Structure formats: C-alpha cells, structure tokens
C-alpha cells in the first residue's frame, strides 16, 4: 500500500482491503457486482466490500477531489445526491506504473440509471414523469446555487416514488457552487439538459428501446417547460390585491403540494396591493412531516401517500386524537404488519414505502373490481402473488450484463 493516499470523511479500514494496484478495467469478476450503469466517460466498477456496495470511478486526481468535495457539501444540505466515501490517490501498479485516482461513492439502493428504467417500455406519459423528476432535481440544485454543467440522464439516478420518480445527482465533475446563480448560468444548464436528453432518447430509439412513434424531441422539450413552470412557481413575484390576501395562503399551499416549504417571503405593500416573492424555499415538505411523525425516511410522493393513509386511519379510529398519537398507532398496526407480510426473499424487489403504496393501489383496484371493500390482508396476499412475485429485484438490480 506504499504511496496510497486516502481522503475520507469517515475513515474505514476496509478501504485498504481493495485492490488499488490494479486498473479498474482489469478487476476480477469475483469482486465486481453486476449492477446497471449509465454511460460514463470514465471506467466505473461496482464492488461489495465489508457489506458496503460501492461505485468506484477512475478519474484524474484533481477532478476526483473536486467531485468529492462538491458531493460532500451537497450531502450536508440534504440535496438528493450519492454519498461520497473517499478519494484514493497515489495509485500505481505492482510494476510501478502510475494509475488514475479513484472516487468512491456508496451505491444508492433501489436506484436505476435511465437505460435500465426505460427498458421497461414506458408510455410517453410515464416517460415524462421520469423527466419531471430531473426537472425538479435541476430546480433544487439551482435554488441551492449549484451549477451542474453537464445535465443529462446519464448523470442521474432514479428511484421510484409512489406513482412518480425521484432523481438523484450523481456526476459532479463539472459542478460548481455559488451563493446564487445568474440567469445565464441557469439557462445554459437548462439548454444543455434539453440537448442531452433529446440525444439520449434518440439513442434509445435507434436501439429499439423506445418505439419509433415516440416524439422524443417533444418529450425532451417537456423537461424545459416543466423546469420553467416550477422555477416560476417557486421564485416569481406575485401581485395580490390587499382584499384578496387568501391568495397568499393559496400560493403557499400550492408550493407545499409541489413538495416545497417556504422558509421566508418578501412582502411589500403599496397602494392597496401586496407584492409577494419567496426568498427561501426548501424541498422535502412531506418527507419531513412523515419522518417527524414516524421516523420513516422515504421519498416525497411516498411521504404524501403515507400521510394520506394516516389521516384516513385517524378518521376511522380516533378523529379527536393528536396526529402524533395516531401516526404511532398506524405505524405499529398498519404499516409494520403490511411490510412484515412480504416474504423475506422478495424484500429486495422494492423499498418498503413503495411496496406499501402499491398495495394501497392494488387494494383499491381489487375493491373496485369486487364492488366491495377488500381487506388489507387479502390485498397483500393477492399483490404478492400477482404483482410482486414477477418483479425483478431493484435493491441492487442483479443479473444485469457484465460490466464492460
């Protein structure tokens, strides 16, 4: 291990057990996990070490250090990114030949690169939902002063979020963090997103993954429109007549529905009108609520669905009880037993919150079909047999083609 230098926020001795003297392209099959990968200009390998599933990327040392620092800063702000583990520099072969540095990040469980996700033959509507999540991610980064510089589907990971998707920032080589972005910086990122996404979708279409009749240019442009709509909702000034102050509450509720909390607003009064503009907007409105009530860490739409189920449970069991009390009972009497009913060998297929959401959807479908209310127990049994059993594992998405 002579010459190795390891930079890690949480030093772990198991990093020393990895073969840093061998180029990643030559790592033996037995240490490489078969996980789906997006396109990358660098050699990337996944490995399981001491129970940790890691993504390892060979990259020039200054870029590795830069990306590590960017990801580390974004982790502290609760933005959706992969977790940086370490930068390994000073690598060389046993013959003394220098090797590139390695950036080590933790694999994001239950995440999929876009190629794996879109191989499921999505409808244009569902494909737009995937792109919506990328637009939301880009807005969140821009609100935090992050200039991406290389926006694309390839540099993003996606997780299921109830009926929607949540996008995660992966590749930070070109990213920069500023106190605030200029309109020009934002426009460049957005235009780059449009060009790259359309190109990536065209590539999938030429490879037969997307049907020929999909208008991929229109679908790609949708991301730009979604970004602009969301950015305006979150940042634009709004002029309100003083007598219609309810419109201010309405805007706050609308932002909450989009999953954002408004931490501060600038309100100017003049000649009978209010000029309102959000100053501090933070994502994760429902995620924070469900975590405070139950301790569960879930995606935003999943959290919204769980909160709705808690309110339904409250209405039927104790409408006068505090929500915190009802949530604790719901967790013990509804959520936990439902998840426990999933056979152990099927628990790597989907996250618990996603399974719960799909069971609720399945129960509604069965009840409508039967013309009567179907019990949760019956819905769980039917869902496992008819839906979950046929799903592939998504925790690590095994049996993917070998890395190249």
User: What distance in Å separates the CA atoms of residue 43 and residue 34, rounded to the nearest whole number?
Assistant: 14
Instruction: Report the DSSP beta bridge partners of residue 242.
Output: none
User: Quick one: pLDDT at residue 400?
Assistant: 33
Handedness of CA 200, 203, 207, 210 (dihedral sign): positive
* Domain locations in the chain as residue ranges: 5-108, 112-235, 238-283, 299-390
Count of alpha carbons within 13 angstroms of residue 351, beta-carbon side: 19
User: Quick one: pLDDT at residue 163?
Assistant: 86
What CATH code would you report for 112-235? 1.10.510.10
User: What distance in Å separates the CA atoms of residue 331 and residue 322, rounded to the nearest whole number?
Assistant: 14
Structure tokens, 300 = 């935003």
In what side-by-side order are the strands of the sheet with 273-283?
A: 238-241, 273-283, 260-270
Fold of 5-108: Phosphorylase Kinase; domain 1 (3.30.200)
User: What distance in Å separates the CA atoms of residue 339 and residue 347, rounded to the nearest whole number?
Assistant: 9
Q: Which residues of 64-78 are buried (b: 16+ CB within 10 A; e: fewer)?
A: bbbbbbbbbbbeeee
Residue pLDDT tens, the chain, 404 long: 457 899 987 767 888 888 899 998 888 765 554 444 444 567 888 888 877 888 899 999 999 999 999 999 998 888 999 999 999 999 999 898 999 999 999 988 888 888 888 877 788 888 999 999 999 999 999 999 999 999 999 999 999 999 899 999 998 999 999 999 999 999 999 999 999 999 999 999 998 888 888 899 999 899 999 999 999 988 888 888 877 777 878 888 888 887 888 777 788 887 777 788 887 777 888 999 999 999 999 999 999 999 999 999 999 888 889 999 999 999 999 999 999 999 999 999 999 999 999 999 999 999 999 998 898 899 999 999 999 998 888 876 533 333 33
**Contact (Cβ atoms closer than 8 angstroms) between residue 172 and residue 141:** no
């Amino acid at each position: 291990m002579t010459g190795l230098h390891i930079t890690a926020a949480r030093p772990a001795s198991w990093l020393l057990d990895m073969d840093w003297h061998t180029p990643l392209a030559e790592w033996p099959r037995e240490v490489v996990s078969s996980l789906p990968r997006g396109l990358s200009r660098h050699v990337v390998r996944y490995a399981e070490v001491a129970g940790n599933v890691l993504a390892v990327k060979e990259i020039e040392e200054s870029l590795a250090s830069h990306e590590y620092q960017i990801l580390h800063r974004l982790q502290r702000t609760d933005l959706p990114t992969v977790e940086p583990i370490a930068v390994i520099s000073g690598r060389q072969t046993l013959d003394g030949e220098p090797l590139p540095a390695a950036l080590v990040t933790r694999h994001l469980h239950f995440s999929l690169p876009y190629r794996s996700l879109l191989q499921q033959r999505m409808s244009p509507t569902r494909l737009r939902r995937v792109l919506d999540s990328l637009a939301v991610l880009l807005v969140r980064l821009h609100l935090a002063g992050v200039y991406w510089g290389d926006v694309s589907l390839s540099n993003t990971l996606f997780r299921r979020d109830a009926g929607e998707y949540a996008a995660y920032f992966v590749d930070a080589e070109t990213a920069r963090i500023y106190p605030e972005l200029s309109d020009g910086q934002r426009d460049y990122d957005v235009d780059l997103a449009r060009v790259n996404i359309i190109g990536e979708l065209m590539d999938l279409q030429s490879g037969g993954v997307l049907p020929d009749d999909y208008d991929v240019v229109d679908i790609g442009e949708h991301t730009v429109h979604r970004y602009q709509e969301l950015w305006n909702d979150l940042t634009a000034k709004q002029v309100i007549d003083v007598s219609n102050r309810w419109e201010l509450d309405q805007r706050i509720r609308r932002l909450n529905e989009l999953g954002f909390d408004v931490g501060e607003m600038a309100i100017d009064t003049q000649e009978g009108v209010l000029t309102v503009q959000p100053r501090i907007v933070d994502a994760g409105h429902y995620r924070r609520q469900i975590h405070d009530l139950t301790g569960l860490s879930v995606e935003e739409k999943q959290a919204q669905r769980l909160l709705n189920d808690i309110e339904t449970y409250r209405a039927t069991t104790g409408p006068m009880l505090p929500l915190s009390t009802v949530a604790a009972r719901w967790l013990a009497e509804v959520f936990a037993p439902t998840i426990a009913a999933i056979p152990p060998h099927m628990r790597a297929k989907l996250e618990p919150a996603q399974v719960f959401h799909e069971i609720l959807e399945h129960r509604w479908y069965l009840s409508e079909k039967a013309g009567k209310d179907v019990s949760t127990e019956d819905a769980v049994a039917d869902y496992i047999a008819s839906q979950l059993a046929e799903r592939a594992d998504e925790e690590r998405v095994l049996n993917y083609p070998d890395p190249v």
